[in-house]
Amino acid sequence: MDNIATKDTAAAYGVAPGRLKSGPRGAKPRRRLSRRNIIVYGTLIVVSLYYLLPLYVMIVTSLKGMPEIRVGNIFAPPLEITFEPWVKAWAEACTGLNCDGLSRGFWNSVRITVPSVVISIAVASINGYALANWRFKGADLFFTILIIGAFIPYQVMIYPIVIVLREMGVYGTLTGLVIVHTIFGMPILTLLFRNYFAGLPEELFKAARVDGAGFWTIYFKIMLPMSLPIFVVAMILQVTGIWNDFLFGVVFTRPEYYPMTVQLNNIVNSVQGVKEYNVNMAATILTGLVPLTVYFVSGRLFVRGIAAGAVKG
Amino acid sequence: MTSVSVKDLSLNFGAVTVLDKLNLDIDHGEFLVLLGSSGCGKSTLLNCIAGLLDVSDGQIFIHDRNVTWEEPKDRGIGMVFQSYALYPQMTVEKNLSFGLQVARVPQAEIDKRVKRAAEILQIQPLLRRKPSELSGGQRQRVAIGRALVRDVDVFLFDEPLSNLDAKLRSELRVEIKRLHQSLKNTMIYVTHDQIEALTLADRIAVMKSGVIQQLADPMTIYNAPENLFVAGFIGSPSMNFFRGEVDARDGRSFVRADGVAFDVSAYPARTKLQPGRKVVLGVRPEHVKVDEAREGETVHQAVVDIEEPMGADNLLWLKLAGQSMSVRIAGQRRYPPGSTVRLSFDTAVASIFDAASENRL
């Protein structure tokens, strides 16, 4: 009875029968093709195909000429690789009267994103630090108001903000848009930083106070050097969020300051002439390139920071 | 001369009162231990003295200067934390000098003080390392060094040894005691570990729910606890308690508890033992003799329940007339479970508490 069982198990695991003769010993043998593995890897493969297929179509289409596209085999790799559509998308595509492609929008987006990211992160990190460590009077109320701000739909606030910006004299300018992005980034970023700083050992803060360090010294000398992961998270959130923004870009700026997303929309949706699918695809990939790069470069730090900042509340 | 003086200190968090009109005077050069279980307010009191918590009422004096409203750095204190609280991104040297740099002490003076602290604590080889490259004991040494370089008269320790393993803890305990003997400054030390308290302290303040239960030197705390809480809290294993009633016969006094009559004629405050009074008799495990009764002593029979040999001594858990009690005897004397022993109690060093007020008689 025992013998048969041993033989069967040995066969099932694909191990030489001799090894199991004297009963199980050492590391448990594992089957490569277990049902569990098939399900896990199968699901993963299907899901990644689902997400990667559109990207594949975009890339191959952008590398084809228009005649090849008209043939209609969207999954077929390009017979003749051409970078013409990419050049056109970047430098020649027309929106309205301008025919200098996406490049104008790209530089606008850079000029919007960089100051917005820097200012919003600087202000939010100080907010979070003050809320987590200094517990001033009314801190909880202030924090609650800020969090409620995160739940109000943007659309509700657009018209009032237009008026406020107009009164300030910055409506339609890059400055105005930077201010808007900074304000709207505040609730979630403050929450992020507050939770991260609250998760740092409180005794560290106390030790620094006994050492005589004040508000700013503790912030710059103690807290900042320990907070790289959360700054990376905040940076990724803001860069991708602001870069991908469409609504604020179209509402709060004039055409010459349109960010890349708005310009992409205008190129893709232009009604005159033929639909140049290859140019559209190239333009879309170009626009998405910045957030993609950010993810690829800092992905690991991102995960670490999210884990560190999100758990404690 | 008092070094630290706490007057009528109260602290409330909203409706919760953590400390209520607490008074404490600490002499210059004294080693005072605040002892209590978690949540008794001992760390809170220390944080108030350090200035890390704002008090609700009362005053704090350090060196006869009212520092109630002063910032921590201006109080002339150094503090050592349980989690070491070393700045992780700085080297040991930077950790030690950070406070001095913030205070804009001249570099030559900083170097001198860091060198001296490193010498005292024997951490010179570690100065260039980061805290993450140090062991727990080394980290705590650096943390003590950070208080040392501040050149202050009052050291505050907030459970400094609780994160260390047992062996390191006893080593550093000795080092802290040595440090105190050579520096001779005032130290206030918070702990929940009674061994630390008994070994280090000049005086121990046993705290419970924000109130100091007894403030005395370690031997008094151990031998003459002021109330039932202190008696039960100090000593491991805990003191044996017998609830009963005072009885007098033939010119002798007894405590009758569950059919056992303990002869307490030798108790120092015998006059307070009026017959009929409800009391609690407390006897430490080492104040019970096993099979060593002298002529004329009252002897009680008990059965061994569990034996815990600890090497140097042997701990017996006994059943005495249905009550469980522990006795400490020499390590080489062994009693297997189930054996019967003859106990005699040394009631001259026992403690007797009033059953109602729980205070010592």
In angstroms, the CA B46 to CA B191 distance is: 11
**For residue B157, with 0-12 CB atoms within 10 Å meaning exposed, 13-18 middle and 19 or more buried, which class applies?**
buried
B22 φ, ψ (degrees, to nearest 5): -90, 135
Distance in Å, alpha carbon of A193 to nearest chain B alpha carbon: 19
Q: What is the pLDDT of residue A98?
A: 73
In angstroms, the CA A262 to CA A22 distance is: 72
Residue type for A72, please? G
A208 CB neighbours in chain B (<8 A) are: 87, 98
With tokens 């700083």, the residue in question is A197
* Angle at the Cα of A92 from the Cα atoms of A91 and A94, rounded to 5 degrees: 125
Q: Which one, of B232, B239, B276, lies nearest residue B254 by Cα?
A: B276
DSSP A130: I
Q: Could you tell me the two tokens for B19?
A: 């400390």
Asked if residues A102 and A287 have their Cβ atoms less than 8 Å apart, the reply is: yes
Global pTM value: 0.81
Residue type for B258, please? D
Number of Cβ within 10 Å of residue B34's Cβ equals 28
- All residue ranges of chain A with pLDDT < 50 are 1-5, 309-313
The answer on pLDDT for B236 being more than 60 is: yes
Q: What is the pLDDT of residue B206?
A: 94
Measured N-to-C along each axis, helices A103-129 and A174-199 cross at an angle, to the nearest 10 degrees, of 40
Q: Where are the domains of chain A?
A: 103-310
* Angle at the Cα of A198 from the Cα atoms of A197 and A202, rounded to 5 degrees: 100
Q: What is the pLDDT of residue A15?
A: 56
In angstroms, the CA A249 to CA A109 distance is: 9
Q: Could you tell me the two tokens for A280?
A: 């559209």
Q: Which of the four pLDDT bands, split at 50, 70 and 90, describes residue B260?
A: confident
* B79–A208 CB contact, under 8 Å: no
The answer on pLDDT for B278 being more than 50 is: yes
Residues in chain A whose beta carbon is closer than 8 A to a beta carbon of chain B?
A: 201, 203-204, 206-213, 217, 221-222, 225-226
pLDDT tens digit sequence for B170-225: 889 999 999 999 889 999 999 999 999 999 999 999 999 889 999 999 999 999 99
In angstroms, the CA A29 to CA A15 distance is: 8
Q: What is the pLDDT of residue A1?
A: 44
Distance in Å, alpha carbon of B51 to nearest chain A alpha carbon: 8
Fold type of domain A103-310: MetI-like fold (1.10.3720)
The DSSP element (H or E) to which B340 belongs, if any, is strand B340-345
Question: Mean pLDDT throughout B95-116?
Answer: 93
**For residue A101, with 0-12 CB atoms within 10 Å meaning exposed, 13-18 middle and 19 or more buried, which class applies?**
buried
* B72–A207 CB contact, under 8 Å: no
Half-sphere exposure of B353 (CA within 13 A, CB side): 22
Domains in chain B, CATH or no CATH each: 2-233 (3.40.50.300), 240-354 (2.40.50.140)
**Among A211, A221, A226, whose Cβ lies nearest the Cβ of B88?**
A226
Q: What is the pLDDT of residue A27?
A: 83
Q: How far apart are the first and last CA of chain B?
A: 32
A35 φ, ψ (degrees, to nearest 5): -60, -40
pLDDT tens digit sequence for B58-85: 999 999 899 999 999 889 899 999 888 9
Q: Which one, of B148, B41, B53, B50, lies nearest residue B97 by Cα?
A: B148
A217 CB neighbours in chain B (<8 A) are: 102
* B102–A201 CB contact, under 8 Å: no
DSSP A253: B
For chain A, how long is the longest CA-to-CA vector?
A: 91
Q: Could you tell me the two tokens for B350?
A: 């026992």
pLDDT tens digit sequence for B300-319: 889 999 999 998 899 999 99
* B52–A213 CB contact, under 8 Å: no
Mean of pLDDT over chain B = 90
Chain A: residue nearest B158 by CA? A203
The answer on pLDDT for B14 being more than 90 is: no
* ipTM of this complex: 0.85
Q: What is the pLDDT of residue B248?
A: 87
B103 CB neighbours in chain A (<8 A) are: 212
Question: CA torsion sign, B163 to B166 to B169 to B173?
Answer: positive
Alpha carbon of A187 to those of A147, A152, A181, B205: distances in Å?
6, 11, 11, 47
Mutate which of B49, B73, B95 to test chain A, going by most A C-beta atoms within 10 A? B73
Q: What is the pLDDT of residue A117?
A: 96
In angstroms, the CA B26 to CA A55 distance is: 74
Listed in sequence order, the residues at least 6 apart from A54 whose beta carbon sits closer than 8 Å to its beta carbon are: none
Q: What is the pLDDT of residue A11?
A: 55
Q: Which of the four pLDDT bands, split at 50, 70 and 90, describes residue B252?
A: confident
Q: What is the pLDDT of residue A284?
A: 93
A201 CB neighbours in chain B (<8 A) are: 83, 85
Chain B: residue nearest A212 by CA? B73
Distance in Å, alpha carbon of A187 to nearest chain B alpha carbon: 28
